[in-house]
Amino acid sequence: MKIENWKLKDEARKASAIPCFAFCTAHVALAAMLILMFTGSVAAAQDHSGHTAPPTAEGQAGHGTPQPAVTEQHPAGHEAAPAPTQEEKKRAKQPKAEKKKVEEQQPVTITLPEEKRQLIGVRTAVAAYRSLDRQIRTVGKVDVDETRLAFVNTKVAGWVKKLYIDYTGQKAVKGQPLLSIYSPDLVTAQEEYLLALRSQSAATAPGGFSEVAASQQSLIDSAKRRLFLWDITEEQIAELEKSGKPKTDITLQAPLDGIVLEKMVLEGAYVMPGMNLYKIADLSNVWIIADVYEYEAPLVTVGQEARVSLAYEPGESFTAAVIFISPVLDPTTRTIKVRLAAKNPHLKLKPEMFANVDITASSGARLAIPTEAVLDSGLRQIVYVEKKPGVFEMREVKLGVRGETYVEVLSGIRKGERVVTSGNFLIDSESQLRAGPGGGGHQH
């Protein structure tokens, strides 16, 4: 009985050992497969990179000699490029800044066949010395010519007796009566002058004293000078001497031909010395005050001609000339006041009226090219020069004064060279496409 139990236990132990052995065997097989896969990947990677795989122990045991080295190959299967030369190594060691400088010194050229040039419409122009004219267009306001403006006032106190010019806007002619004033002071001065004349006549009569006559002449001159200072004319004094009677009123006359802009007096009013009674302006010549921006101010000089036109007279213009440039800049508008003088025979230019002003500024003969020949990126100005038919070279230029159709070239272009004026955008695009991304091209 004991023997049978021992046999049963022994058989059960053996039965339990079988699955454990199978499990261990499976793990060992899986580990072996992983090792083989890993070593295979390493060998493949080494073979792909072009290096010789080290011989295995099995290879050494199976063959008496080691395996030959594998030749280095590129992924495409071609042999590697030859080793770089000393010159290439020297260029590779060259600093990047020097490389960039050498590349910038080399001009960028592009060659286009005749068919393509005709297709894109390439046209050229010659760089030559030209007079650069520029039009400065601005707005001005008509103003009175201050040299043809006058105030009428009196130097004596009195009462206005009569107005001959009695409304604003009336036309006055030089010497025309404006108003008459009764002044007691003026009557007294006339009586003193007449008395001095009578005294002189008595002193120069037979039996008179010469000393008295000389004194009376001095009184006459003093009284006459007083009348002159009160704006009594020579004709009025001569009339006073002829009549021998003082006038009770004085007549003020227009000092110039013009239009009465202001009338500050009424009949019967009492006026004081120095009071302005009329404001008269000659509008046959007027001023136009124009505003010129500060960057255009250097182009304007005294004596330049300008054209003045009105919005309501589109077909008519007036000739004007610059007579004054303000030395002070307006800080609000950042402009400079420019004064122009214009003839106004028909009085179409009226004070306070706005007008369009075109000033022609000429800078003299300068080396210039057409403005459309310049490709301006803001940082650089590029021009394409035709070296020979079909061959174009890119140049960086420095520009100066700009005109209406031409621009001055300070550097980069010589006289007689031909520059591209039409099709330069397409030539520039073609040069960048041929350069390719990141190599040999130019940047704007």
- Per-residue pLDDT, averaged over 226-246, amounts to 86
Does 335 have pLDDT greater than 90?
yes
- Per-residue pLDDT, averaged over 134-141, amounts to 92
In CATH, what number is assigned to the domain containing residue 342? 2.40.30.170
- 168 and 245 within one domain: yes
Of 159, 153, 166, residue with least CA distance to 270:
159
Q: What is the pLDDT of residue 151?
A: 95
- 327 and 213 within one domain: no
Does residue 83 sit within a domain? no
Tell me which of 292 and 195 has the higher pLDDT. Answer: 292
pLDDT digits (tens, 9 = 90+) for 277-326: 999 999 999 999 999 999 889 889 999 999 999 988 888 899 999 999 99
Does residue 115 sit within a domain? yes
In CATH, what number is assigned to the domain containing residue 185? 2.40.50.100
- 269 and 226 within one domain: yes
pLDDT band of residue 172 (cuts 50, 70, 90) is: very high
- 271 and 290 within one domain: no
Determine phi and psi for 441, rounding to 5 degrees: -80, 180
Does residue 79 sit within a domain? no
- 116 and 41 within one domain: no
Determine phi and psi for 406, rounding to 5 degrees: -130, 160
- 51 and 22 within one domain: yes
Cα gap 397→370, rounded to integer Å: 13
Enter the pTM of the model: 0.60
Last residue of a domain, one of 256, 280, 304: 280
Burial of 11 from C-beta contacts in 10 A (0-12 / 13-18 / 19+): exposed
Does residue 333 sit within a domain? yes
Helix residue spans in 174-283 (DSSP H)? 184-203, 210-229, 234-243
Last residue of a domain, one of 280, 306, 333: 280
- 160 and 276 within one domain: yes
In CATH, what number is assigned to the domain containing residue 383? 2.40.420.20
- 246 and 159 within one domain: yes
- 161 and 51 within one domain: no
Q: What is the pLDDT of residue 95?
A: 62
- Per-residue pLDDT, averaged over 147-157, amounts to 93
- Per-residue pLDDT, averaged over 15-25, amounts to 45
Report the 10 Å Cβ neighbour count for 320.
Answer: 26
Does residue 74 sit within a domain? no
Strands (E), 69-119: 109-111
Does 377 have pLDDT greater than 70?
yes
Average pLDDT, the chain: 79
- 271 and 347 within one domain: no
The amino acid that residue 114 corresponds to is: E
Cβ proximity of 84 and 385 under 8 Å: no
User: What is the domain count for the chain?
Assistant: 4
- 235 and 162 within one domain: yes
Distances (CA, A) of 360 to 136, 206, 321, 378: 6, 78, 10, 27
Structure tokens at 101: 């400088």
Tell me which of 334 and 25 has the higher pLDDT. Answer: 334
Does residue 8 sit within a domain? yes
Does residue 201 sit within a domain? yes
Last residue of a domain, one of 215, 245, 280: 280
Domain that holds residue 292: 285-364
Tell me which of 231 and 165 has the higher pLDDT. Answer: 165
Structure tokens at 73: 């190959």
Does residue 145 sit within a domain? no
pLDDT band of residue 55 (cuts 50, 70, 90) is: very low
- 272 and 163 within one domain: yes
